[in-house]
Structure 1
């Protein structure tokens, strides 16, 4: 009669404990790094988009300069890549030659800047604009990258572009679309500012 040595077919309790400890240590080290990497990717994406937007704004202004500053004392315009834009006019505390609306389809005065003007700026200044919306009820649907709204600081109206990927849900399950990273375009100053919210 042939005898076979005892064969172990499973893990011993000590081996199982060691596996659990190793997996736990890896989870503690790897998961926070993954979360940091994902957050930094969102920040980099926003910075890239704001940089592209700023470059397009400056390019439109440069085209206006190259064309000999077409317009009048109260209204400037430029044909930028086949699209006519209304530009800011000279006024106290402001700068001239920055796009704020489509000519003939948008606001004719900077003081009338609307959310639709801000949306059409994004769609027409950029070569590959991200899907964006002005409708708060659609913003959380997952098909848009930016939520667009208009506001004012010291009588200077501005466009604000909220990055929806960084919108916080504050652990409620419902996204607060204006709680996250964003960039702001202030046409009267020709300036693009970025706001990174580290509290999300």
Structure 2
């Protein structure tokens, strides 16, 4: 009886072909995993933000829909809301109607999210924060929260408007006039 001493060349070639076919099928799925993780991160933060905006508005509804410069208490934090009950700043902060500044956007982000991701404002020096924060134009009145990962920003760079519009940037807008949160990807 002859002892087998290993694999034949045909068996090795078959195994290599099978591994190659499996790899060719699985590789594209793994290449998109980073983008999927970024999408999930933005969607999670935007969803939490939207829920919190809804809860602040519910507090305003429970208070009887007061008009004018109104504060509601949400999770022990006093938040300034507009005439429609959507958050625009923390208490006792002056806003120009519903025109939100970068400072107002940061205040809302910090006040309504229990543990907000790290963030930095337009014009500040970047040092590995998760989100970049900007205010929209006077006509859109949006807050813009862009995921820093995926931008070309490096530690020590000044956060510029171009970081919010670069290709591949993901994030979400907050429109205080309608209480609407919209996810975007450039």
The verdict on a shared fold, with TM-score over 0.5 as the criterion, is yes
**Which residues of 2 match residues 42-81 of structure 1 at below 5 A?**
42-72=38-68, 75-81=69-75
Q: Tell me the distance in 1 between the aligned counterparts of 2:116 and 2:81.
A: 20
- 1:195 deviates by 1.2
Which deviations, in whole Å up to 9, do the C-alpha atoms of 1:44-99 show, x marking residues without a partner? 22112111101100100100111223453xx222121221212112xxxxxx1100
Query: Does 1:124 pair with 2:118?
Result: no
Is residue 110–residue 157 contact of structure 1 (8 Å, CA) maintained in 2? no
Provide the aligned C-alpha RMSD in A.
3.0
Is residue 79–residue 89 contact of structure 2 (8 Å, CA) maintained in 1? yes
Which deviations, in whole Å up to 9, do the C-alpha atoms of 1:161-200 show, x marking residues without a partner? 11123x255xxxx9x7424111100001111111134xxx
Unmatched 5+ residue regions in structure 1? 1-7, 90-95
Query: Does 1:185 pair with 2:174?
Result: yes
Query: Does 1:158 pair with 2:145?
Result: no
Higher radius of gyration, 1 or 2: 1
Equivalent residue for 2:97, pick from 91, 105, 110: 110
| Larger relative contact order (CA 8 Å, sep ≥ 6) | 2
Instruction: Report the 3-state secondary structure (helix = DSSP H, G, I; strand = E; otherwise coil) of the residue aligned with 1:194.
Output: strand
- 1:22 deviates by 6.0
TM-score (norm 2): 0.75
